[in-house]
Chains A and B, each alone.
Chain A
Amino acid sequence: MSGFESFVGVNPWTALFTFCNAIITFLVLKKFLFKPVKQMIDDRQAEIDAMYADAEAARRQARELEQQYQERLEGVKRESDAMLRQANARAQAREAELLAEARQQAAALRQRAEAQIAQEKKKAANELKAEIGGIAMQIASRVVEREVSEQDHRALIDAFIAHVGDAS
């Protein structure tokens, strides 16, 4: 049978077929086109996001590390500076100490030497005095041709020698 439907009208069977076709189209497109494509777009987006996040994290980490190194470097520098200063101070102190010690030693040595010299001088003077006394006695005895009593004239001689010693 062949004929035409009315121009404006709803045929329930056509409507049913249209409905079924729409549902089938919807399901097929959803399963085979929209879902996988959307999935792909989302996956790619997620991947890009992850990559950006990774890069950002790496950058932050690098900066952190750099800062750490900087700090450590500064610490080391400060430490070495302090050590140097300390060593310097210690060396200076030691130098001063050594100098003082040396000076002291030298002073002590000189003092001792001076004392020795003085003693030697005194001794020499005494010896000289005694010898001069003896010589004087001899000279005198020869002059007087007689034994001069040492005991008698001792005081006289000593006075003379003291006078000589004072003059020398």
Chain B
Amino acid sequence: MNGPKIYFTIPILGGIPITQTTVSSFVVMVLLCVAGILLGRNLQKRPSRRQALVEKGIAMLYDMVRDTMGEHNLYWTPYIGALFLSSLGGTLIGMTGILRSTTADLSTTATWAVMTSLLCWGCGIRANGFTGWLKGFADPVPVMLPMNIISEISQPISMAFRHFGNISGGGVLTSLLYSALATLSAMVLGAVGSNPVAAAGFLAAGLALLGWGFAAKKLGRKIVGALFAVTGALALTGLSGVPYLEVGIPGILSLYFDVFSGGVQALVFSLLTMVYIGNCCPPPEEAPQS
């Protein structure tokens, strides 16, 4: 599997490549902004059904931030929410088939992870002062200094690769499955198509099974019947190059890799961001006075 395709390069500053990720990321941004503006418009004290739903979602985000980061960090919610929605949208946009998932590009996840780290450091500096923050690396004993530094550096890397790996891994698996299914359908069609009698038998058996399935209202028989009938029909007409087995099965896999895994990874990424930033922004009364 390749990385994101480079559509074209703007010939300034040594060439700015416009890749699939760039386009997807832009589209996701526009979609989120438009959706946000539309959903945030026309708010009433007595909410409509749409507004109640929006409020429920926003309140859930705020509750999540409150539980994870504490009451004093509640103002982080818009950032966490934007990150979560960007990640989820960036993953789901890959399901369109036209655009590539933004999160399947390390550039995207690494940027977000580095943003999280920078915010973390900013919070640490704000809470303890620059020297206090630097001294924090030598806690609790100076021997820990290299380990603390490594942990600070590895944190964004692990975040970036976790998200990227999960989504792109799903993409790799899906493409592998597609090619496997194409090979399989070519093999089946080749085997069946070499013998017209077998092909006609497949078609007849498939149609019979399909009819039985409709009569008995059994979904399994209908599906198997349709499969057999299509196999027979394609073999009879000699269209052995049609990867007809690619229909259906990858959809189930996509449900897991795109919807479930995408949601989980978006949640994990924003949860980790919340935890890291929350650790760097202790409650005001616990913050050392410097």
Contact = CB atoms under 8 A, between A and B. Distances in A.
B106 A4 contact: no
Given A2-B6, A17-B22, A37 B55 contact: yes
Contacts of A9: 3, 106-107
Contacts of B22: 13-14, 17
Contacts of B21: 11, 14, 18
B108 interface: yes
B107 A15 contact: yes
Nearest to B42: A36
A35 B77 CA distance: 10
B59 A30 contact: no
Interface string B98-126: 00001001111011100100000000000
Interface string A1-17: 11111111111111101
B4 interface: yes
Interface stretch (B82-90, B177-185, B226-234, B242-250): B82-90
A117 interface: no
Given A33-B58, A34-B58, A11 B17 contact: yes
A37 B43 contact: yes
Interface string A27-47: 011101111111011011001
Interface in B15-36: 16-17, 19, 21-22, 25-26, 28-29, 32-33, 36
A15 B160 CA distance: 12
A34 B60 CA distance: 12
Contact of B107 (A14, A25, A33, A40): A14
A22 B112 contact: yes
B9 interface: yes
Contact of B106 (A10, A19, A33): A10
B2 A4 contact: yes
Interface residues of B, number: 52
B32 to A, nearest CB: 5
A135 B4 CA distance: 178
Contacts of B211: none
A18 B81 contact: no
B40 A32 contact: yes
B15 to A, nearest CB: 9
A105 interface: no
B5 to A, nearest CB: 6
B78 interface: yes
A32 B45 contact: no
Contact of A10 (B41, B43, B58, B110): B110
Nearest to A2: B6
B110 A28 contact: no
14 contacts: A2-B6, A7-B168, A11-B105, A17-B25, A21-B29, A22-B82, A25-B33, A25-B82, A32-B33, A33-B37, A33-B58, A34-B40, A37-B43, A37-B55
Interface of B: 1-9, 16-17, 19, 21-22, 25-26, 28-29, 32-33, 36-37, 39-41, 43, 45, 47, 54-55, 58-59, 62, 77-79, 81-83, 85-86, 102, 105-108, 110-112, 115, 164, 168
